[in-house]
């Protein structure tokens, strides 16, 4: 068979049923091999849309996401999605076409050094140089993307190798047994736990990657340890857990941030002490010892020293720690913090109040539904005010913070989970980044729901300009936005615009009950900010709040 046929055959044999992409000259043999193949291809309207659709597919299922692009600009358009997958540890396989091997290095039409360009934003990258290497490279790439700490892998295939007759040799993975929990480190951890009076579990995205939600909840329910979550981990701790404090960090809840600052032991479970979590690192959990659980040893001690480290699959390491019960006095303090700093939804104005709208949406949508966010104020409001029962139900661009992520990610999630409701929540800035993917929704009749929170501003940037740049509002005015409902209607997508609080309930009902795609365009106050906020250089308990302004 040809190299192109071998690729499609291997994808099918490895359980890949859907791929996303956009054809072009250097990848045409692969698209020819797709014709009539058992692998279904979804044509997006931009290669970045294909990359993010594959990310959404992977994050909503835990399966390998796959995307195709041609050489040159096709491949460069995938780079942002690769970086996003790298920073959020998403299993992604990107296949790019390349100019024929004889033309490489000659500045041929649409020739770009994709291998060199991708090295910093992939777990591994390949350029296939010989036809006889193709089978091994493809099999190894699929394995690498999904093994250990997942991540994106790129395979660049010259056009002549796609057309060549290639041999197939089964590739056997080396024995890559995962690291085992160190008995000595478990002893250290048990000692720290036995002495702790104010422990807190700091839960990260590694819980989803390890499929370890069950082990996490067993640990929490046995120990009664208070828990805080990163943006990517939301949904790992079930919302009805009594001592769940929600998200911590720059826009985390006050109770979560105060608890971490007051704790004497921080049990880090699959998290990496990201700067948006820690604020001033020197002041972050300064009273606490650290137990760090992770599969990647490079993360331990990278930003904060750990007194005990359990390097292993979280399914194996978490159960090692369920050996104590949290002090009742600390739990009483946690309960008081939750009551004192509970979110309020009694907004006094007549305008649409975004936190209340999102909280209502969370209550009315199925608990199996998926919410895909873009980046900005709406992203933080979703994290604060919506509840999730699994981390695969909350897709948000965490490490990269990519505007334009939400709509194509929702497409991938909807294709991966056709029986579940998928909603993208976006802002009027972010939605325009990949608005062309409305055509993908229309072509495939995908029932994706779209909520646009429209303040006619780049809201998060405007908020920082207000607070830290003396109200010099440079290039954040989006008052010339299009009519989003009319724009969606061009693609055959119905919807409505709301401007007042008394319209919210009926509008959410219409969105949730719609059988096909639907857009809800909610106009909100352009001066509304996200609170609380940890300002630059401050500790997490030095939060700015709305009351203080």
Q: 326 with 226: CB under 8 angstroms?
A: yes
Cα-Cα end-to-end distance for the chain = 68
The H-or-E segment that residue 459 falls in is helix 459-468
What Rg value do the Cα atoms of the chain yield, rounded? 24
C-alpha to C-alpha distance for 377 and 242, rounded to whole angstroms? 27
The active-site residue out of 1, 13, 17, 109 is: 109
Q: Tokens 């936005």: give the residue.
A: 481
Annotated active-site residue in 123, 159, 338, 449: 159
**Spatial separation of the C-alpha atoms in residues 436 and 431, rounded to whole Å:** 10
Name the active-site residue from 18, 47, 140, 437: 47
Nearest to 5 by CA among 242, 230, 163, 183: 163
Task: Considering the candidates 403, 432, 433, 460, report the single residue annotated as catalytic.
Answer: 460
Taking phi over 0 as left and psi of -120 to 50 as alpha, with beta for the rest, 306 belongs to beta
Phi-psi region of 349 (alpha: psi -120 to 50; beta: other; left: phi over 0): beta
The rounded distance, in Å, linking the Cα atoms of 228 and 219 is: 14
Q: How far is CA 241 from the centre of its chain?
A: 23
DSSP string across 57-122: HHHHHSSPEEEEE-TTHHHHTTHHHHHHHHHTT--EEEEEEE--GGGTTTT-TT---HHHHHGGGS
Query: Token digits for 518?
Result: 């639907």
Q: If we measure between CA atoms, which residue out of 390, 461, 375 comes closest to residue 425?
A: 375
Given 28, 63, 110, 364, the catalytic residue: 110
**Active site (annotated) includes residue 460:** yes
Which residue has 């979703």 as its token pair?
Answer: 382
Count of C-beta atoms within a 10 Å radius of residue 53: 32
The answer to whether 276 touches 233, Cβ cutoff 8 Å, is no
- Three-class DSSP category at 352: strand
Q: Which residue in the block uniquely carries the two structure tokens 């976006």? A: 426
| CA-closest candidate to residue 26, choices 125, 120, 128 | 128
Cα 468 to Cα 459: distance, rounded to the nearest angstrom = 14
* Location of structure tokens 């991708």: 118
47 among known catalytic residues: yes
In which element (H, E) is residue 406 found?
helix 406-416
DSSP 275: H
Residue 401: is it exposed, middle or buried by C-beta count within 10 angstroms (0-12/13-18/19+)?
middle
Is there a catalytic annotation at residue 142? Answer: no
Tally: H helices and E strands in the chain: 22, 18
Which amino acids are annotated catalytic?
47, 109-110, 159, 460
């Amino acid at each position: 068979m040809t190299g192109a046929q071998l690729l499609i055959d291997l994808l099918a044999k490895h359980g890949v049923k859907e791929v996303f992409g956009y054809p072009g000259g250097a990848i045409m043999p692969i698209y020819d091999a797709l014709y009539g193949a058992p692998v279904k291809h979804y044509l997006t309207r931009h290669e970045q849309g294909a990359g993010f659709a594959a990310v959404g597919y992977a994050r909503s299922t835990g399966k390998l996401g796959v995307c195709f692009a041609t050489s040159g600009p096709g491949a460069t358009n995938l780079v942002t999605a690769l970086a996003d997958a790298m920073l959020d540890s998403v299993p992604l396989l990107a296949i790019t076409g390349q100019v024929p091997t004889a033309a490489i290095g000659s500045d041929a039409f649409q020739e770009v050094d994709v291998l060199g360009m991708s090295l910093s934003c992939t777990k591994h990258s390949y350029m296939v140089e010989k036809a006889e290497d193709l089978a091994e490279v493809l099999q190894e790439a699929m394995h690498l993307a999904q093994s250990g700490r997942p991540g994106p892998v790129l395979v660049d295939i010259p056009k002549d190798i796609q057309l060549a007759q290639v041999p197939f040799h089964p590739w056997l993975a080396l024995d890559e047994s995962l690291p085992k929990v160190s008995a000595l480190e478990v002893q250290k951890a048990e000692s720290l736990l036995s002495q702790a009076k104010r422990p807190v579990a700091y839960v990260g995205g590694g819980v989803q990657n390890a499929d370890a939600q069950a082990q996490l909840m067993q640990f929490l329910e046995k120990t009664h340890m208070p828990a805080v979550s990163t943006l990517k981990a939301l949904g790992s701790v079930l919302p009805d857990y009594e001592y769940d404090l929600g998200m911590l960090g720059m826009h985390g809840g006050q109770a979560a941030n105060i608890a971490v600052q007051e704790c004497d032991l921080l049990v880090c479970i699959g998290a990496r002490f990201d700067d948006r979590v820690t604020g001033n690192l020197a002041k972050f959990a300064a009273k606490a010892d650290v137990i760090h659980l992770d599969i990647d040893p490079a993360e331990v001690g990278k930003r904060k020293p750990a007194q005990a480290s359990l390097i292993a699959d979280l399914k194996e390491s978490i159960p090692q720690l369920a050996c104590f019960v949290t002090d009742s006095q600390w739990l009483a303090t946690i309960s008081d913090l939750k009551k004192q700093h509970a979110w309020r939804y009694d907004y006094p104005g007549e305008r649409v109040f975004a936190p209340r709208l999102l909280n209502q949406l969370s209550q009315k949508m199925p608990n199996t539904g998926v919410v895909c966010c873009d980046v900005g104020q709406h992203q933080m409001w979703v994290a604060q005010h919506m509840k999730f029962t699994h981390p695969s139900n909350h897709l948000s661009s965490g490490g990269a913070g990519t505007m334009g992520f939400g709509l194509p990610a929702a497409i991938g999630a909807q294709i991966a989970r056709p029986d579940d409701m998928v909603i993208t929540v976006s802002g009027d800035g972010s939605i325009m980044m990949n608005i062309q993917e409305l055509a993908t929704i229309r072509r495939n009749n995908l029932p994706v729901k779209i909520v646009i929170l429209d303040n006619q501003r780049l809201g998060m940037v405007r908020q920082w300009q207000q607070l830290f740049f003396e109200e010099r509002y440079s290039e954040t005015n989006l008052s010339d936005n299009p009519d989003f409902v009319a724009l969606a209607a061009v693609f055959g997508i119905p919807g409505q615009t709301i401007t007042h609080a008394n319209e919210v309930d009926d509008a959410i009902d219409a969105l949730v009950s719609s059988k096909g795609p639907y857009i809800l365009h909610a106009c909100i106050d352009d001066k509304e900010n996200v609170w609380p906020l940890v300002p630059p250089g401050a500790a997490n308990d030095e939060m700015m709040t709305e009351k203080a302004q």
